Amino acid sequence: MHLNRWDVDLFPNPATNQITIVSKAESESLKILIKDLTGRSILAQNLKTSGFIANLDFDLINGAYLITLSNSNNERVTKKLLIAK
């Protein structure tokens, strides 16, 4: 059985002020939500991938965050994002 689970890659991680999001779809709308480890929302933004990628700029303090990305099919993935400046 082959599971075709939606996923994205983030780099660099640890990041400073920007990450690149690489999707399996050439062009799709993404909802981005970044929370700190206490669950407090830090950033919410909509992005559209172009040529499989999208860039997200932010200004976060050093630390660990959870970034949740969802697509238009309500598929969702949560990853740990480290900020180190």
Nearest C-alpha neighbor of 19 from the set 70, 80, 72: 80
Tens digits of per-residue pLDDT, 14-71? 999 999 999 988 999 999 999 999 999 999 999 999 999 999 999 999 999 999 999 9
Distance, CA of 9 to CA of 81 (rounded, Å): 11
The average pLDDT across 3-13 equals 87
The average pLDDT across 6-20 equals 95
pLDDT at 1: 47
pLDDT at 79: 96
| Geometric angle at alpha carbon 17, from 36 and 29, rounded to 5° | 75
**Structural domains in the chain, sorted by start:** 8-83 (2.60.40.1220)
